[in-house]
Amino acid sequence: MQVFKDIDSIQDFIKQQKQDGRKIGLVPTMGALHNGHLSLVKKSLAETDVTIASIFVNPIQFNNPSDLEKYPRTLENDRALLESIGCHSIFHPEPSIIYPNPPQLKFDFGDLDKILEGQFRPGHFSGVGIVVAKLLNIIQPHVAYFGQKDYQQFLIIRRLVNDLNFPVRLVCSEIVREPSGLAMSSRNQRLSPEERKAASALFRALQLARENLAKKDWVEIKNEVETTLIQIGLRLEYLELADRKSLAVVQKYNGDVPLILLIAGYVGQIRLIDNLFV
Ligand code: AMP
């Protein structure tokens, strides 16, 4: 497996692969890989001929400097994991390669980047949009793989790709969970064993909310969930029911259109997100 650190060398590699008629799959990640990331890589390996995993902790999508500083970086382990499942190559550039000049460009995705994650992480989705646009332009994959875990991010990327006519097919892949139900996340590495146990309450809250949707008023469900989470020591940032296509928040459940439940909360210092289709 080859590790490319600069743009010219990965582009030479891809040019050769395309000349040989191979289909390219890209899995963008920030490293500290777990089985969620690996499920995307496996999907790409099954559906394309050459899979590239990018590992880049994108500074401009962090709205909290300490979160960026403490973000786990485990390159050697990531490399071994990717190699063990047969990934073909890694693109692992330094920040100065991706941002030779301080980035001035900003994206505005309308309503989609002001709600939910966007409300609590201003500027986050602009940073995500810029790095994904750069990766898609550098690699020019046929297919790019993303996780449902970051569902709002997937919708943002879909809008970016549609609005700017990027010639790529996008895949949104289901959430991989720990046996406790906790959605796998690189940030889970920073949880203590007790916090990790408590964190699984986020998924249980989503399940409980979904079970109660047809029985109780949505406001009542939200209040109950919040009280339960506080008792476990979690701080709820949001729990919302939203339209699955637009992410417009819904105040009343009616079984007509596909919906999604989205949750964000703090376990100690660590902010976690999760979601569940309704
Ligand atoms: P990240 O490294 O956190 O930027 O994630 C890279 C990609 O992996 C994103 O498309 C995420 O949505 C996806 N991902 C993260 N966690 C999971 C998970 N538990 N299951 C499936 N995909 C995931």
Residue partners of 171: CB distance under 8 A and separation at least 6: 43, 47, 143, 144, 145, 146
List alpha helices for 99-177, DSSP H: 117-120, 124-139, 151-163
Q: Among the atoms of ligand 1, which is closest to the Cα of residue 185?
A: 16
Q: Among the atoms of ligand 1, which is closest to the Cα of residue 176?
A: 20
Q: Which two tokens stand for residue 96?
A: 């100065």
Q: What is the mean pLDDT of each run of 10 residues along the chain (278 residues)?
A: 98 98 98 98 98 98 94 96 98 98 95 95 97 98 98 98 98 98 96 97 97 95 95 96 96 90 97 97
The residue whose CB lies within 8 Å of the most ligand 1 atoms, and thus the one to mutate among 35, 37, 71, 157, is 37
Distance 132 CA to ligand 1 centre (A): 14
Q: Which residue has the tokens 């209040």?
A: 223
Taking the model in full, what pTM does it have?
0.97
Q: What is the rounded CA–CA span in Å between residue 2 and residue 257?
A: 45
Q: 11: burial class by Cβ within 10 Å (0-12, 13-18, 19+)?
A: middle
Which residues surround ligand 1 with Cβ inside 6 Å? Answer: 29-30, 36-37, 39-40, 146-147, 149-150, 173, 175-176, 183-186
Read off φ and ψ for residue 86, nearest 5 degrees.
90, 20
Tell me the three state secondary structure of residue 254. coil
Q: pLDDT tens-digit profile of 65-103?
A: 999 999 999 999 999 999 999 999 999 999 999 999 999
Q: Which two tokens stand for residue 61?
A: 């999508």
Read off φ and ψ for residue 12, nearest 5 degrees.
-60, -45
Q: Which two tokens stand for residue 115?
A: 């709600």
Q: What's the pLDDT score for residue 254?
A: 84
Question: 123: which DSSP letter?
Answer: T
Q: Which residue has the tokens 């046929």?
A: 142
209 closest CA partner among 221, 191, 223:
221
| Contact yes or no for 183/267 (Cβ under 8 A) | no
Distance 260 CA to ligand 1 centre (A): 18
Q: What's the pLDDT score for residue 207?
A: 98
Q: Among the atoms of ligand 1, which is closest to the Cα of residue 153?
A: 12
Residue partners of 142: CB distance under 8 A and separation at least 6: 23, 24, 25, 48, 168, 169
Q: pLDDT tens-digit profile of 149-168?
A: 999 999 999 999 999 999 99
> H/E/C letters for each residue in 182-226?
CECCHHHHHCCHHHHHHHCHHHHHHHHHHHHCCCCCHHHHHHHHH
Distance 149 CA to ligand 1 centre (A): 6
